[in-house]
Structure 1
Amino acid sequence: MKDLKISKKKPSYPISDKLNDYLSEYNRNSKITILYDDLLRFQGAITVYDKDDNDTLWVRVYFSEFDRAEIDLSLKKVYTRLHSDGNETSIPFLNVDAIDYCTFGNSKPFRIKVRNILNDNYTYFYVKKADASRIYGLELEHMLSPYNLNFMVHGNTLIEEHIAGIPGDEFIKTMLNDCTESEKSQIAKEFVKFNERCMIRLLGDMRAYNYVIVPTHDFDHVVFKIRAIDFDQQSYEGKFNVYRPQFFKENLKLVELVTKKFKKESIDQYKIEERSIVAKRMISYNDRIDQLLDCMVNDTISNPEHIKLLKSKIYDYTLDLKFKKSQNMGQIVKNALSFVKRNYENVNTKGF
């Protein structure tokens, strides 16, 4: 499998006034007392290793005594707003156990570990630079995938909740072989649907470390789901295959699993199922998704070379002339979703 090349440095696109108004209307904007740049004031850091002593590419940062007290309080306030109604009565029972920083990738996030000292339960959230591409990706995931997402924006700062699960690369390496044949078949089905969902809404770079496998125990078996966790490459690249997880070498074992378990008819059936589900979600979010797409159409989230290449490749794939006429990435995404919705409505109309 030939490896796909991703742009080394995707620029960070600012939040337009139109997108900012959208975020305010749907309660995504929130005044917070700490910004991404505040966390860059750390004085030093140590490497974070996993349980097998491998470098995780995260470092644990520390601050001066004066800064740490202020930062801890602000992060606790962010936590209460992200996970509750902002009521600060619980703050005395919260502790910021760790602040980790990752230099790998475009977003350079901070990962915050917050623990409830009364019962030792803890959770994470992330502080990142606000980027229009990522926000569009989060909103499309919220509306078009089976999963709701919780995030807040303030100025140039994005606060994201943690998405729990087993990192895809870790699952493939250490757990996939131990799954039963029935479980492998179920994982293969989920990968087909995940692949289709990413392609439809143009979410790129879903290599194995950019999604998680989420096992859920049913009464007599385990159900596996796949969730994207990185939305930096939302509709930026020009290569169509970047938006299809099946073409990344890191996902080869899952592709082989699909080939082994399913015939073409079954694969096509699962693709149709996923397109239908996405179309139903579009209908249910009608006005909101139209508003988001209107923001994208009037925004700059890629460059002319990528736009020209992608609209040509998608035209070859769909033979829909609307893609050839697309002027920007927002129009390509809008036409892709309209294509799926239109086909769904035509099939259902014919059925009556």
Structure 2
Amino acid sequence: MSSEEKLMSQKKPAFPVTEELHAYLTEHSRNIKIPIFYEDLLRFQGSIVVYDKNDVDTLWVRTYYSEFEREEIDLSLKKVYTILHSNGNEETIPYLNIDAIDYCTFGNSKPFRVKVRNILNDNYTYFYVKKTDASRIYGLELEHILSPYNLNFLVYKDTLIEEHIAGIPGDDFIKEFLPKCRESEKAQIAKEFVKFNERCMIRLLGDMRSYNYVIVPTHDFDHVVYKIRAIDFDQQCFEGKFKVYYPQFFKENYPMVALVGDKLHEASINQYRIEERSIVAKRILSSEQRIQQLIFCMKNDVISTDKNIQLLKQQVFDFTKDIAFKKSSNMGEILETALEFVKRNYENMSVL
């Protein structure tokens, strides 16, 4: 049995969207009628395996549909693209082409990945069609509010539309790019992993194995700046083991952990952790009302098991010594207490 199998529990179920969460999504323009459902895309007649440049199976398959259905599906997907990116303005539809509809056979969400190309200039992008899961929606919203990045997604009944997050998959980066990085770049990547590790822990986003985040390189004057972004959010506030919310404990991330140990002193690691907590605290304070609305939905929702809730609140209490965690009765209350803990410590430091 691998360390991940020991760390993670059984497969997480998909949780339905409650009336409270539905109202929240509507208020914040996330809940919008779309012309196609996830189940519609399941009607493909066949598929072929998608291989990468090294002829390795990507675990995605390229679907094909009957000629009549493909025409209808393509038009609906173009409309979804315009809703996601231009508030439903359909003037660009004649210039869009659906190049591919891929289906993932790996993981919990079984998503479809849609490739949309502008035929005037051959620029293309992707979006994903998935079944709704309250955990994933909470994860997406928390990422939008508490991380440095805005996320664009839509929910309609049982279907979730997610904008593509561009970057180099973490597992590919570790294998192919990291060994070629300069020593100064490796130090900067180590810093970002410390911050990413802290951010995931604070907001209880679990299962950040290397294939669940991307590395985003940005050229800045005479060097490259690397950032780390989560791309999978269905393990938001589900697991009971606190370690699951630390990317550092997954074996796929050991090269990153080794990099941190090699490039950063303990004082620097603590500095970057404090910096990340402060940044998250500022985001909590600047979006307090929206976070309170979201936490209200979570506190009135079931997104985990009683066993996981009891285990997590005890382990977080052991870590923080904050008795409020022991009084939590569900995952929403645990997360609320965690965010309050971060905010309170930041405010106390500001006073000092």
2:33 is aligned, of 17, 31, 34, to 31
Figure out how many residues of one structure are paired with residues of the other and give that number.
Answer: 350
Please tell me whether residue 77 in structure 1 is matched to residue 87 in structure 2. Answer: no
Residue correspondence of structure 1 range 276-315 to structure 2 within 5 A: 276-315=278-317
The C-alpha deviation readout for 1:286-335, integer Å capped at 9, x for no partner, is 11111001111111000000001000100000000011111000101111
Q: How far apart, CA to CA, are the structure 1 residues paired with 2:90 and 2:107? A: 34
Q: TM-score, normalised by structure 2?
A: 0.98
Name the residue aligned to 1:116.
118
2:201 corresponds to 1:169: no
Displacement of 1:6 = 2.0
TM-superposed deviation, 1:2: 4.4
Alignment of 1:1-352 (within 5 A): 2-3=3-4, 4-350=6-352
Letter in 2 for 1:33: P
**TM-score when normalising by structure 1:** 0.98
Give the superposition deviation at 1:253.
Answer: 0.5
Letter in 1 for 2:122: D
Amino acid at match of 2:17: I
SS at match of 2:227: strand
Q: Deviations over 1:93-126 (max 9, x none)?
A: 1000000000211100000000000000000000
- Aligned alpha-carbon RMSD (Å): 0.9
Distance 1:72 1:55 in 2: 26
One-letter amino acid matched to 2:217: P
**1:265-291 Cα distance to aligned partner (Å, 9 max, x none):** 111110000000000001111111110
- How far off its partner does 1:159 sit? 0.1
C-alpha contact (below 8 Å) 2:7/2:243 kept by paired residues: no
Q: Deviations over 1:37-94 (max 9, x none)?
A: 1111111111000010000000001111111111000000000010112111110110
Task: Tell me how far 1:184 sits from its aligned partner.
Answer: 0.3
**SS in structure 2 at match of 1:246:** helix
Q: Distance in 2 between matches of 1:108 and 1:8?
A: 17
Distance 2:264 2:177 in 1: 21
Q: Secondary structure at the match of 2:222?
A: coil
Kindly provide the amino acid, as one letter, of the partner of residue 283 in structure 1.
L
CA distance in 1, matches of 2:166, 2:205: 19
Once residues 262 and 52 of structure 1 are traced to their aligned partners in structure 2, the CA distance between those partners, rounded to angstroms, is: 34
Query: C-alpha distance in 2, partners of 1:290/1:221?
Result: 40
| SS of alignment partner, residue 137 of structure 1 | helix
Displacement of 1:8 in angstroms is 3.7
Alpha-carbon distance between aligned partners in 1 of 2:149 and 2:91, rounded to the nearest angstrom: 29
Distance 2:126 2:73 in 1: 16
Amino acid aligned to 1:325: K
1:158-216: CA deviations, max 9, x gaps? 00000000000000001101101100000000000000000000000000000000000
Give how far 1:342 is off. Answer: 0.5
Gaps of 5+ in 2: none
Q: Give the Cα separation in 1 of the matches to 2:104 and 2:96.
A: 24
> For residues 37 and 342 of structure 1, what CA distance do their matches in structure 2 show?
45
**2:212–2:230 Cα contact (<8 Å) kept:** yes
Aligned-partner Cα distance in 1 for 2:31–2:281: 27
Q: Aligned partners of 2:95 and 2:313: how far apart in 1?
A: 52
Query: Any idea what SS the aligned residue of 1:283 has?
Result: helix
